[in-house]
Structure 1
Amino acid sequence: MANIVILGAGYGGMATAVALERSGQPFTLINKHEYHYFTTLLHEPAGGRNTFDEYSVPLREVLRRPSSEILKATVQELRPQDSKVITNQGELPYDYLVIALGNAPEYFGIPGMQENALVLRSLDTARQLHEHIEKTFASWHEDQDDAKLRVLIGGAGLTGIELCGELAEWLPELAAQYNLPLDKIQLINLEAAPSILPMLDEGLREEAQRVLESKGVQLRTGTAIVKVNPNQVELKSGETLDAKTIVWTGGVRANPLIKEAGFEVDPKGRAKVNEFCQSVNFENVFVIGDSAWFTGEDGKPLPPTGQAAEQMGNRVAENLQAIESGLPMQPFHFNNLGTLASLGHEVGVGSVKGVRTKGVPAALMKEGSKAKYLWHLGGLRMLSQKRGQFKRKG
């Protein structure tokens, strides 16, 4: 059998691995952690909804066959010309490679952003954000610096808005816990574009804004950040805002290793692929998820979403099996199931297969999508293990 190597255990990499394992195809999965975490849900533990261990699953609980090799390692270099991957654990050759390395923050060249802002892109950064906010709020009585009670979130896409929804519920809890003046707590979202949640229609955007503002979130659209200093942001208008917590959720780009390896890339560093999710430069390399520059049927690149990565992973697994069997590969077609945004643990907004939803029904549909994903990972066994997950503590 072919020597297949998968890089990354995010949504795309896991989908590929699960499908290959179910087909009986051996592979090696390289990941820097021994667990898979739920990237699209990181706002929940960051905002105090649940404990962090509920948002990950050990890789060996999903990939249980001995022929499914898991290597805990960090990828340091891609050498597609030589069909090799260089890691901190050594060099690995391959017959076929699946690149699912996820993304890196896109700072758009804003001075000081990378150095002075927190991000939400992994379980570790979510924990760091959570602990930073709690520690900062807890220390307010030492000097009563009101900047400690001001949280700034840059970016009003899905990540930024869902984080606002969680924090809007958690920050008042912290105020009660540490006897803080509730009227001094400020949660401000700064967005350079004219509206929030650009992937949703205007009516749903307006509903999301109404809900968040009713929870005390200040949404400032058309407000560009031009510089970030320690504990301060400078706006294009000339205004400055002091805050001890600054979070950046304003965009992502592909892992820089892809461009460094010589792949043809788009401005976000994603490797160009054909209709089979196959690199246009190296036919034994498949690229999926946030790493892939895949042009959809509308002529636009697919956005970096979990559902796109998962669907790509499934198709690539099928195509690898087709190659092994001497059958033709099948093209990838993205089936857009829609977008759901939680605005806290009880309400949300979104569109599913063209049907608009908001309020409690949207939140219930979001919960249903979590259960569906757990089922895909490990069937009833995984769903049963995690069935208490995602229920708000307390």
Structure 2
Amino acid sequence: MAKILIAGAGYGGLTCAVELEKAGQPFTLINKHDYHYFTTLLHEPAGGRNKFEEYKVNLHDVLRKESSKLVKGVVTGLSPQENKVLTDKGELSYDYLILALGNAPEYFGIPGMAEHAMLLRSWDTARKIHEHIEHMFRMYRDDRDETRLRIIVGGAGLTGIELCGELAEWMPELMATYHVPAEKVQLINLEAAPTILPMLDEGLRKAAEEVLTKKGVQLRTGTAIVKVNENQVELKTGEVIDARTIIWTGGVRANPLIAAAGFEVDPRGRAKVNEHLQSVDFSNVFVIGDSAWFTGPDGKPLPPTGQAATQMGAVAAHNVLRIMKREPLETFTLNYMGTLASLGAEVGVGNVKGMKTKGVSAALMKEGSKLKYLWQLGGLRLVNKKRGQLSSRR
């Protein structure tokens, strides 16, 4: 029987595993953790909405067949020439590999960013951000250092803006708990580009700006960070801002193991794939999600989104099965559902299948998308287990 190996249990890797299990096809899934976390929702617990345990699911709750083998380990290298994946638990061989290693932060060469900024990119980093901010407010009560109350979020894409929305709603609770005057707190979003949320149209961007500004967020577009020091950022304008909390959400690139293994990659380190999601270098390797350099009909690479990764995972699974059955392979085409940005627990902006939405309706659609994803992973059983946990602020 052919050996199928999935490397990574993010949106793409886990969807692939679910599809293979539905088909009764044995496989091995290796992942750093024994759980899957909701990457696109991490701004919520980081900013004080709900408990952290509610934003992850145990892999054994999703993959329940004995033939589905789960390995908790870290991928340390790739050897596609030998059909092997190197891990901290030893070598894993395969006949077919689905490469879904996720991403690494993109710092754009900004000195000091890697050393001094926090990242929102995993369940653990979201928890650290939350705990750090609360610790800063607690420390201010003792030493009155106002830089503890200044939070800088670098990047105004989905992650940065959604994080600002959640943090803004958390601030009043922190101010009340630690007796902090409102005028002392600053939440600053810095973006080098001329606008926030570039994937949305101007009307929706303005609506988001109005909501965030009313919540107390300082939106500063056209403001590039050129250097990060300990507790300090330097701007292209020459301005220097002191802050004890600096969070970077400005971009991602592929896991560096991909380029190191000899795959043909784009400037972001993503492996080039054909229309079937096969590596152009190794036909028995399928590359999906943030690891894949897939060019859409417009000639541009697909952006790294959860919906793209999920759809890629399903197609990769189908194509592995088709190869084994000697059937024609499925062509991947992104079914773009739209973009929704939450600006807190009860308001958002976005578009769904070309329909613009904002306010409470956008927030409700965002909640609906969470339940839809849980249904795809584990049907009614998983929905019932998680339902009601991912919608209300604590």
TM over 0.5: yes
Post-superposition Cα deviations, 1:51-87, rounded to whole Å, max 9, x if no partner, equal 1000000000000000000000000000000000010
* Residue aligning to 1:177: 177
How far apart in 1 are the matches of 2:166 and 2:92?
Answer: 42
* Residue aligning to 1:382: 382
SS of structure 2 residue aligned to 1:335: coil
Mapped contact 2:345–2:393 kept (Cα < 8 A) = no
Q: Which amino acid aligns with 1:346?
A: E
How far apart in 2 are the matches of 1:177 and 1:136?
Answer: 13
Post-superposition Cα deviations, 1:163-215, rounded to whole Å, max 9, x if no partner, equal 00000000111000010111110000000000000000010001000100010
How far apart in 1 are the matches of 2:392 and 2:119?
Answer: 23
1:391 deviation in Å?
A: 2.8
SS of structure 2 residue aligned to 1:358: strand
How far apart in 1 are the matches of 2:326 and 2:192?
Answer: 51
How far apart in 2 are the matches of 1:328 and 1:258?
Answer: 27
* Residue aligning to 2:160: 160
* Residue aligning to 1:316: 316
How far apart in 1 are the matches of 2:330 and 2:48?
Answer: 43
How far apart in 1 are the matches of 2:356 and 2:339?
Answer: 10
How far apart in 1 are the matches of 2:377 and 2:370?
Answer: 11
**RMSD value, Cα:** 0.6
How far apart in 2 are the matches of 1:240 and 1:297?
Answer: 43
* Residue aligning to 2:343: 343
Q: Which amino acid aligns with 2:276?
A: F
SS of structure 1 residue aligned to 2:86: strand
Work out whether 1:56 is the aligned partner of 2:90: no
How far apart in 2 are the matches of 1:49 and 1:338?
Answer: 24
1:324 deviation in Å?
A: 1.2
* Residue aligning to 1:42: 42
In structure 1, stretches of 5+ residues that fail to align are none
* Residue aligning to 1:138: 138
How far apart in 2 are the matches of 1:81 and 1:391?
Answer: 46
SS of structure 2 residue aligned to 1:25: coil
* Residue aligning to 1:352: 352
1:121 deviation in Å?
A: 0.3
The count of residues paired between Structure 1 and Structure 2 equals: 394
How far apart in 2 are the matches of 1:215 and 1:155?
Answer: 18
Q: Which amino acid aligns with 1:141?
A: R
Q: Which amino acid aligns with 1:292?
A: A
* TM-score, structure 1 as length reference: 0.99
* Residue aligning to 2:4: 4
Post-superposition Cα deviations, 1:14-58, rounded to whole Å, max 9, x if no partner, equal 110000000000000000100000000000000000110000000
How far apart in 1 are the matches of 2:366 and 2:393?
Answer: 18
SS of structure 1 residue aligned to 2:71: strand
1:2 deviation in Å?
A: 1.3
How far apart in 1 are the matches of 2:340 and 2:247?
Answer: 22
1:388 deviation in Å?
A: 2.0
1:392 deviation in Å?
A: 2.0
Matches within 5 A, 1:85-234: 85-234=85-234
Q: Which amino acid aligns with 2:274?
A: N
Mapped contact 2:367–2:391 kept (Cα < 8 A) = no
* Residue aligning to 1:282: 282
Post-superposition Cα deviations, 1:233-255, rounded to whole Å, max 9, x if no partner, equal 00000000000000000000000
1:13 deviation in Å?
A: 0.2
* Residue aligning to 1:267: 267
Identical residues among aligned pairs (%): 70
* Residue aligning to 2:29: 29
How far apart in 2 are the matches of 1:202 and 1:362?
Answer: 16
SS of structure 2 residue aligned to 1:45: helix
1:389 deviation in Å?
A: 1.3
SS of structure 1 residue aligned to 2:187: strand
* TM-score, structure 2 as length reference: 0.99
In structure 2, stretches of 5+ residues that fail to align are none
Mapped contact 2:190–2:219 kept (Cα < 8 A) = yes
Q: Which amino acid aligns with 1:117?
A: A
Post-superposition Cα deviations, 1:323-351, rounded to whole Å, max 9, x if no partner, equal 11110101100011000000000000000
How far apart in 2 are the matches of 1:351 and 1:15?
Answer: 24
How far apart in 2 are the matches of 1:366 and 1:43?
Answer: 13
SS of structure 1 residue aligned to 2:188: strand
* Residue aligning to 1:81: 81
Q: Which amino acid aligns with 2:58?
A: P
How far apart in 1 are the matches of 2:60 and 2:154?
Answer: 36
SS of structure 2 residue aligned to 1:121: coil
Mapped contact 2:20–2:26 kept (Cα < 8 A) = yes
How far apart in 2 are the matches of 1:314 and 1:392?
Answer: 31
How far apart in 2 are the matches of 1:269 and 1:171?
Answer: 38
* Residue aligning to 1:362: 362
1:377 deviation in Å?
A: 0.5
Q: Which amino acid aligns with 2:289?
A: G
Q: Which amino acid aligns with 1:362?
A: A
SS of structure 1 residue aligned to 2:189: strand
How far apart in 2 are the matches of 1:286 and 1:365?
Answer: 32
How far apart in 2 are the matches of 1:273 and 1:387?
Answer: 37
1:393 deviation in Å?
A: 3.8
* Residue aligning to 1:250: 250
How far apart in 1 are the matches of 2:141 and 2:20?
Answer: 55
1:141 deviation in Å?
A: 2.2
How far apart in 2 are the matches of 1:108 and 1:393?
Answer: 34
Q: Which amino acid aligns with 2:315?
A: R
